[in-house]
Amino acid sequence: MAATPASRHPDHPDLDRRTVVSGFLFGCGIAASMIDLFVFHLGLQWHHFYDLSTPQVALAADAVFHAVGWFITVWGLFLLADVRRRGEVAWRRWTGALLAGVGAFQLFDGVVDHKVLGIHQIRYGVDLLVYDVVWIGSAVLVLVAGLVVLRRTRPDRSRPVLRAVPSDG
């Protein structure tokens, strides 16, 4: 089997790469659109719909993140379905990529959204330092855990690369 050109061919995507991209996008997406909504807005009610102190630029950035968050959630799931219809899904590898995605987004949220842009804070009326340390620390832990799983589930490159099998349908 030819090495790289085939992986660019739309009919033969590199399924390992697609598995990792799917897990990562879905992880970022659920962190952006679901963890924030269900845990912090509805569950703990630490976040407000809009705290009325956000600068205009940050509000625009937040709106863009919102759109991208839903899009990558949907896209990640469809990529997973695509890998699945072309062959076996490496679920441990996908889960590793998912963890890396959740960690990467939470880290981005904790550093860029909360601190650099100041779109909103984790909680209001409290000393933020502890919350920021826990948020960013846990994000780094999840990200590292995901990267470790990804490293340990790397496909054996000495064997033929996993590729899409031409399907009958």
Is residue 163 within the footprint of other proteins (CB under 8 A)? no
Q: Which of 6, 35, 82, 108 binds other proteins (CB under 8 A)?
A: 82
CB 155 within 8 A of CB 80: no
Least Cα distance to 76 among 132, 130, 125, 31 occurs for 31
34 forms part of the interface with other proteins (CB under 8 A)? no
Report helix, strand or coil for 66: helix
CA distances from 141 to 17, 138, 147, 148 (A): 23, 5, 10, 10
| Selection from 70, 39, 56 nearest residue 117 by Cα | 56
Alpha-carbon distance of 123 to 137, in angstroms, equals 17
What residue type is assigned to position 22 of the chain? S
The least CB distance from residue 43 to other proteins, in Å, is 16
Question: If binding is defined by CB under 8 A, does position 40 make contact with other proteins?
Answer: no
The answer to whether 67 contacts other proteins (rule: CB under 8 A) is yes
Task: Report, in Å, the least distance between residue 11 CB and other proteins.
Answer: 6
Choose which of 64, 127, 151, 160 interacts with other proteins (CB under 8 A): 64
Q: Which residues pair with 14 in a beta bridge?
A: 163
How many positions of this chain bind other proteins (CB under 8 A)? 27
Q: Which is nearer to other proteins, 75 or 131 (CB)?
A: 75
Compare residues 1 and 129 and give the one whose CB is closer to other proteins: 1
Nearer to other proteins, 81 or 134 (CB): 81
Tokens encoding 145 = 């855990």
Binding site for other proteins (CB under 8 A): 10-11, 49-50, 52, 59-60, 62-64, 66-68, 70-71, 74-75, 78, 81-82, 85-86, 164, 166-169
